[in-house]
Amino acid sequence: MTADQGLLVDGEPVSEGDLTCLALANYGAYTSFRVEGGGVRGLDLHLARLETSAVELFGEAVGEDRLRDLMRLAAAGRGDCWLRVSLFSPEVWPRTPGWTGRPKVMIGVFPPPPPLADSGLRLQAQTYVREAAHLKHTANFGLIRARRLARAAGFDDALFADGSGRISEGSLWNIGFVSGGEVIWPEAPMLVGVTLTLLQRGLEARGMPSRVQPVRLEDLPGFDGAFICNSATPACAVASIDGLAFDPAGAPLETLRAIWASQPCQPI
């Protein structure tokens, strides 16, 4: 790791034993976000995600105060940075899956990544539904494979749909569609991202229409535009999905980015 990176487990430098566990088992959950001046946009949502995942996967919450303490320790003296906060346990293996208790907390510290793109993403629709799609879990084989396949086929990224063509999410992001000035979010098994939730709140606060409904691949010609969003990419226009082109002007990028920028940075 470089001088501007670090990896801590429960506030201590990562041990060989922890690295062995992390290398050989991928049972766990995580969240990631940018720290700006000691604060995080949507921190309450990131904390809630970690606590809910800890209970579901390990049987016990970490505790918000402890999570905050560990985040502050990891980010101390670094200015703006990117944190990935992961939950895992060396006790949980394929042959010994029954352990319950408070998971360990691994925090990786990195320079803030650039957005996935500024505009014009070309997406390939793939039939795929993430396992336990409501969780931001660490089993990323399917996501990486999907992106590799999309790029090998000449696309930028992969958009997931189930066997009936119902759209859910992308490899690393949520997707929104625009129709007549209204933002439509897909209804399907998926991770409801922090950025998606913040944009929903911001749209509601501005009195702009936004709703959740099933969206199928066959419905795409009826939309004026589409965009993706995640914590590193608050809003990026979609140029096409498979062979169907979208007008980048059909996505209200300036409004969405302004909503993101208006979200307060909650102190860690």
Q: 6-110: what fold?
A: D-amino Acid Aminotransferase; Chain A, domain 1 (3.30.470)
Helix/strand/coil (H, E, C) string of the chain? CCCCCEEEECCEECCHHHHHHHHHCCCCEEEEEEEECCEEECHHHHHHHHHHHHHHHHECCCCHHHHHHHHHHHHCCCCCEEEEEEEECCCCECCECCCCECCEEEEEEECCCCCCCCCCEEEEEEECCCCCCCCCECCCHHHHHHHHHHHHCCCCEEEEECCCCEEEEECCCEEEEEECCEEEEECCCCCCCHHHHHHHHHHHHCCCCEEEECCEHHHHHHCCEEEEEECCEEEEEEEEECCEECCHHHCCHHHHHHHHHHCCEEEC
Nearby residues of 140 by Cβ (< 8 Å), 6 or more positions away: 26
- Nearest alpha-carbon partner for 144 in 4, 1, 26: 26
Nearby residues of 39 by Cβ (< 8 Å), 6 or more positions away: 264, 265, 266, 267, 268
Average pLDDT, integer, range 181-196 = 97
127-162: pLDDT as tens digits: 999 999 999 999 999 999 999 999 999 999 999 999
pLDDT at 2 (0 to 100): 54
pTM above 0.85, yes or no: yes
pLDDT at 5 (0 to 100): 64
Q: Kindly report the length of the chain.
A: 268
How would you label 15-32 residue by residue, b for 16+ Cβ within 10 Å and e otherwise? eeebeebbeeeebbbbbb
Nearby residues of 219 by Cβ (< 8 Å), 6 or more positions away: none
Band of the pLDDT at 1, cuts 50, 70, 90?
low
pLDDT at 118 (0 to 100): 82
Band of the pLDDT at 173, cuts 50, 70, 90?
very high
Q: Does domain 121-267 have CATH number 3.40.50.720?
A: no
pLDDT at 209 (0 to 100): 84
pLDDT at 54 (0 to 100): 98
222-266: pLDDT as tens digits: 999 999 999 999 999 999 999 999 998 999 999 999 999 999 999
pLDDT at 260 (0 to 100): 97
Q: How much is the mean pLDDT over the chain? A: 95
Do the bridges between strand 244-245 and strand 104-110 make them parallel or antiparallel, or are there none, so unpaired? unpaired
Domain-wise residue ranges, the chain:
6-110, 121-267
